[in-house]
Structure 1
Amino acid sequence: MMHISLSRPVRVHAWVIFTMLVLLTTHTVVVAQTNSITNRKMTLQSVIQRTLANSPELHEFTYRQQAIEGEIKTASLKPALNVGIEVENFLGTGEVSGIKDTELTLTLSSVIELGNKLNSRKAFAKAQSTLVEAQKQVHTLDVLAEVTRRYIDVLAQQALIDAQKDAETLARYTYQAVTKRVDAGASPAFEQKRAEAALARSRLDVVTAQQTKQAMINSLAIMWGEKDPTFTDVEGDLFALQSSPSLTALFTTLLDSPNLEVYTQESRLQASQVRLTQAANQSDLSWTAGIRRMNGIDETAFVAGVSMPLFAGDRNLGEYEKQRAIQAQLEQQKESATQSLYHQLNMALMIRNNALLNVQTLQNSIIPPLVQALELVEQAYINGRFSYLEWVSTRQELLNAKQALIQSAKQAHQRGADIESLTAQPLVDTINTSFSRKAK
């Protein structure tokens, strides 16, 4: 098992580390066993580490949590104490002119919260923190899935370049063989020109494929903010694939995934909001206490008072009903999200299984006969029994089959990444699987 050491501190839960380990050790693309770039090749482990360490989309949640921590501190505060000074009967007319009959009152006042409002506020703020953490989990899965898909894009493009180079080599060999027959007067001159054009087209295909690969590398590197990538290739076995789990098993796993957990946390947050609204039904008790100095009679006395609003529960009924309706709405949203995620899971599994079938059929039943057919047609052309057109047609069929194989393997991996993102679980049970088989 590989161990991960992040290059800079990143707040991630154990499930994130587990997901990273799964992607690094069981995802069928991975064959690298180091987090360094060797021979200018990037490993999936390095890609994930750099993305988690530098993704602004994920670091945003750190500041959101800091903001909520401030809200928790505010919510934990008790009502403030207020000090007041009141002066009466001064600077008037007649007997109350001047300050000889002034009354000076010094008071201290506050509010006694009833209905467990303090704990309700704290619970609501903490529920916000839990929801943000759940949202971070979902975004982390999305980021991991996206960086994996882009990694697979590059890996598949590398395989396509290899296929295009093989096609260029074959086109060059064909051109040389046709030239010999034309020079010997066994074939018309236009076949040489067609072979020359086919060779130029093959060279063009290689160049465009290489340019496409560089663009894909740029898209991969921007995931961690690198605009001038220093690597030129990625490591992995595109054709190492395993069968898919059943839809029933995947759906069971989906029910515990962060994609649905975030709706659970939203419901809990709203439940806290409902309790906070209920607490507001109980009126708070305002109190005042102090001392009064009466200059007119040269005496001092204590003053005190309490007040409480009436019918607060009736005035708060509308807000309470509103929050309960929102709570019920969130439950329906979770049910709707469950159905939508089930559909996405079903479609991703269908596409992946079809891609796996295509890979198996192409590898075992289509490409081997085409390779043999190409050898036979080539020999027949050299012997003068088949035309140039038949040779080129068979060669193109083989190239098309190889390209279809690459696209099917790419699709299987990418839909696998989608499934892992939806379920937050690997497609295989073990995390010590080695994938060393290479495609022929």
Structure 2
Amino acid sequence: MVIAQTNSIPNSALTLQSAIKLTLANAPELHEFTFKQQAIEGDIKTASLKPELIAGIEVENFLGTGEVSGIKDTELTLTLSSVIELGNKLSSRKAFASAQSQAAEVRKQVRTLDILAEVTRRYIDVLAQQALIKAQKDAESLARYTYQAVTKRVEAGASPAFEQQRAEAALARARLEVLTALQTKQGMINSLAIMWGEQNPTFTNVEGDLFALPPSPSLTSLFTILLESPNLDVYAQDARLQTAQVRLTQAAKQSDLSWTAGIRRINGIDETAFVAGVSMPLFAGNRNLGEYEKQRAIQGQLEQQKQSATQNLYHQLNMALIARNNALLNVQTLKNAIIPPLVDALSLVEQAYINGRFSYLEWVSTRQELLNAKQALIQSAKQAHQRGADIESLTAQPLADANVTSFSSKNQ
């Protein structure tokens, strides 16, 4: 998600791009995949090895009794043995290890999307809190002005003394809300900095325009984009991995041929002879049948899991889009139809109170309505941004690009 930048933020502010860069460079969860890939590369090297050669030595007819006492009739045999793998086992092992590497890479992409969505959400928390602090400070200034105006009327005998006390309490409450909002903001900044392991944040603000909200793309275009996202590709990679596992298991059904060759020295007749032999297990394929059927069943299970995951992701995408569209509608309505008349109403009620035509309660009530509307506007904009981050995490594509795709599909 791209947050529009403003020029009113001090130099100690952080951009979303910087937050993302810091997180990707320092997130332990992503660096973990580097070691996973190194482990898989080791498996690939191991899988590429051919059967080892085994050298052996065998001594017979020595240190016996009678005719075979001592070593005069000793038979010494030197052998070299190995296995001839049948059933294409070598390539099956390599294909399985390679499929593991591809599956791990896609899982890293999925985890990266989750982390990017989380850092964006925490960034939006801070950005929205900054807007809320501004609204709270405006409310504090208005409460101070109200207190001063009420004090003048009380001193002039135009209003009862309790109104001054109520105005004083309202000003204290407004100050408290500002202090609480500032404290909450610092906690949010700490949570954001934790994403890249920084315990003492060096920034005090974040940059961005909370109310710069691009329109939502269509659900149809989002569904199309989702089909190409890593969130579904991970199931495709799991299916490829399981296919490689099935082939590996199928290759294991074919018995290997063991061979032995060597030379034998017979001391009793002072002669040398060559020896050789081959062996193969009988009925080995039947012993592996159960494992093969198990892996085939898992293969079918993965296909069902993919279909279930697709439906679940469609639902998540639909719900995120509904929430975002509702938030956008709230933002538009609050900005254009609710807040402007409340601003005008507050000005009219203020003047009417000063002229003695309205009560203090009506002034305070109108002021609170305006503050509530501003807070609702901030929360709606925050909701729109955060649900946009959810959509981007699911589709692995920025909303701006998704809008282009949606526009293109409508014009085809």
TM-score w.r.t. length of structure 2? 0.96
- Contact 2:255–2:284 (Cα < 8 Å) also in 1: yes
Give me the whole-angstrom Cα distance separating, in 2, the residues matched to 1:30 and 1:276.
52
Report the counterpart of residue 17 of structure 1 in structure 2: none
Report the counterpart of residue 283 of structure 1 in structure 2: 255
In structure 2, give the amino acid aligned to 1:192. Answer: Q
Give 1 or 2: higher helix fraction.
2
Give me the whole-angstrom Cα distance separating, in 2, the residues matched to 1:358 and 1:38.
30
Report the counterpart of residue 193 of structure 1 in structure 2: 165
Residue 220 of structure 1 and its aligned partner are, at CA, apart by 0.1
- Contact 2:215–2:403 (Cα < 8 Å) also in 1: no
2:307 matches 1:335 = yes
Report the counterpart of residue 7 of structure 1 in structure 2: none
How has the CA–CA distance of structure 1 residues 47 and 371 changed in structure 2, closer, same or farther, with 3 Å as cutoff? same
The one of 365, 374, 377 aligned to 2:349: 377
Give me the whole-angstrom Cα distance separating, in 1, the residues matched to 2:30 and 2:105.
11
Residue 38 of structure 1 and its aligned partner are, at CA, apart by 6.2
The one of 81, 93, 96 aligned to 1:121: 93
In structure 1, give the amino acid aligned to 2:4. Answer: V
1:111-190 maps to which residues of 2 (within 5 A)?
111-190=83-162
Report the counterpart of residue 10 of structure 1 in structure 2: none
1:17-166 maps to which residues of 2 (within 5 A)?
23=1, 27=2, 29-31=3-5, 39-166=11-138
- Contact 1:32–1:43 (Cα < 8 Å) also in 2: no
Report the counterpart of residue 407 of structure 2 in structure 1: none
- Contact 1:88–1:103 (Cα < 8 Å) also in 2: yes
Q: Aligned residues, how many?
A: 403
Q: Write the deviation string for residues 336-357 of structure 1: whole angstroms up to 9, x where unpaired.
A: 1001101100100000000000
Give me the whole-angstrom Cα distance separating, in 2, the residues matched to 1:367 and 1:179.
28
Q: Write the deviation string for residues 303-325 of structure 1: whole angstroms up to 9, x where unpaired.
A: 00000001111111111000000
Give me the whole-angstrom Cα distance separating, in 2, the residues matched to 1:303 and 1:225.
67
- Contact 2:109–2:230 (Cα < 8 Å) also in 1: yes
Report the counterpart of residue 405 of structure 1 in structure 2: 377
Residue 30 of structure 1 and its aligned partner are, at CA, apart by 3.4
2:193 matches 1:234 = no
Report the counterpart of residue 215 of structure 1 in structure 2: 187
Residue 430 of structure 1 and its aligned partner are, at CA, apart by 8.7
Report the counterpart of residue 409 of structure 2 in structure 1: none
Give me the whole-angstrom Cα distance separating, in 1, the residues matched to 2:128 and 2:31.
30
- Contact 1:30–1:44 (Cα < 8 Å) also in 2: no
Q: Write the deviation string for residues 42-85 of structure 1: whole angstroms up to 9, x where unpaired.
A: 01111011000000011000000000000000000000000000
In structure 1, give the amino acid aligned to 2:401. Answer: D
Q: Write the deviation string for residues 395-433 of structure 1: whole angstroms up to 9, x where unpaired.
A: 00000000000000000000000000000111123999x
CA RMSD of aligned residues (A): 1.3
- Contact 2:217–2:403 (Cα < 8 Å) also in 1: no
Q: Write the deviation string for residues 89-142 of structure 1: whole angstroms up to 9, x where unpaired.
A: 000010001000000000000000011100000000000000000000000000
Give me the whole-angstrom Cα distance separating, in 1, the residues matched to 2:86 and 2:63.
42
Report the counterpart of residue 239 of structure 2 in structure 1: 267
Q: Write the deviation string for residues 197-232 of structure 1: whole angstroms up to 9, x where unpaired.
A: 000000000000000000000000000000000100
2:352 matches 1:392 = no
1:216-365 maps to which residues of 2 (within 5 A)?
216-365=188-337
List runs of 5+ in structure 2 lacking aligned partners. 405-412
Identical pairs, percent: 83
Superposition misfits of 4+ residues, deviation over 4 angstroms? none
Give me the whole-angstrom Cα distance separating, in 1, the residues matched to 2:6 and 2:68.
94
Q: Write the deviation string for residues 128-171 of structure 1: whole angstroms up to 9, x where unpaired.
A: 00000000000000000000000000000000000000000000
Give me the whole-angstrom Cα distance separating, in 1, the residues matched to 2:395 and 2:6.
25
- Contact 2:221–2:402 (Cα < 8 Å) also in 1: no
TM-score w.r.t. length of structure 1? 0.90
